[in-house]
Amino acid sequence: MKRLITTFVIGLIAAVSAVSQQKPQDSGTKPPETAKPAAMPSVDEVLARYVAAIGGKEAVQKLTSRTAKGTFEIPAMGVSASAEMFAKAPNKSLLVLDIPGFGIIRDGFDGTIGWAEEPQGGLREKTGAELAASKRDNDFYRDIRLKEIYSKMELTGKEKVGDRDAYAVAATAPDGSTEKLYFDVETALMVRADTERETPQGKLPIQAFMEDYKEVDGIKMPFTLRQSTAAFSFTIKLTEVKHNVAIEDSKFAKP
């Protein structure tokens, strides 16, 4: 896959000397001009670079399903579990965590119904804002459809994600909920997403970091996902990813 690498040099260049409070002398010379900051890209340009960086629209559209295996860890609690993920176009998904000493956690979306199941709380169906978020999150072609998924997207500036510069894009969903997406200035890849999710315990702010991008079947995808909340942080690391695997629709159905 041909990798698109575009470097944007953006920022203010500070003046070397302080501005004099005196009136300019009639010497015929002009004060030194300061360099102007480079123009910021448009949202469309940021998104276009992102699509190109992950492999391009055509490469993404060739995929119809995905299975993945990996590990799930909550370092602060000493929790480690196996993780399995299943996804199928256009919008079905299932995440399965098997936590020793606790049991199996499932989170699924069958294209219409969102549901979650865990040993203590049992099975429940998602509604309202939580269900709307599931519909947005589980679009199989989400990466190439961001302008369609969100009713408004605005570039708010350039911010740091770790020690790297990233373009920050504020995204507003049709239901009014907002998210902030960060795209690395140099690689164009999405490296962070700030969201607020509705849960049974109320609204929960979440920071997600996408790291360790690797190429699989012509597209780049993050093999490490870190999510941080006020309550705890966890990490999912993928060890295996397969595409265009046959998956029965019943796999995603609410039990």
Q: Is a pLDDT exceeding 70 seen at residue 171?
A: yes
pLDDT attached to residue 37: 57
Write down the pLDDT at residue 231.
80
User: How high is the pLDDT of residue 56?
Assistant: 98
H helices within the chain, ranges in order? 43-54, 57-61, 128-137, 146-149
Q: What pLDDT is stored for residue 73 in this prediction?
A: 95
pLDDT exceeds 90 at position 124: yes
Distances (CA, A) of 182 to 98, 132, 185, 195, 242: 31, 22, 9, 12, 26
C-alpha to C-alpha distance for 209 and 199, rounded to whole angstroms: 20
d(CA 44, CA 47): 5
Question: Which of these ranges, 134-138, 208-212, 215-219, has the smallest mean pLDDT?
Answer: 134-138
Q: What is the pLDDT of residues 219-247, one digit of tens each?
A: 999 999 999 988 889 999 999 999 999 99
Confidence at residue 4, expressed as pLDDT on a 0 to 100 scale: 23
Predicted pLDDT of residue 15 = 19
Average pLDDT over residues 131-151: 95
- The rounded distance, in Å, linking the Cα atoms of 85 and 108 is 10
How far apart are the C-alpha atoms of 112 and 126, rounded to whole Å?
10
Which domains, ranges and CATH numbers included, belong to the chain? Answer: 49-252 (2.50.20.10)
Q: What is the mean pLDDT of the chain?
A: 86
Checking if the pLDDT of 10 tops 90, the result is no
Give the pLDDT confidence score for residue 23 in this predicted structure: 33
Bridge partners of 99?
Answer: 103
Residue range 15-71, pLDDT digits in tens: 112 222 233 344 455 445 544 556 899 999 999 999 999 999 999 999 999 999 999
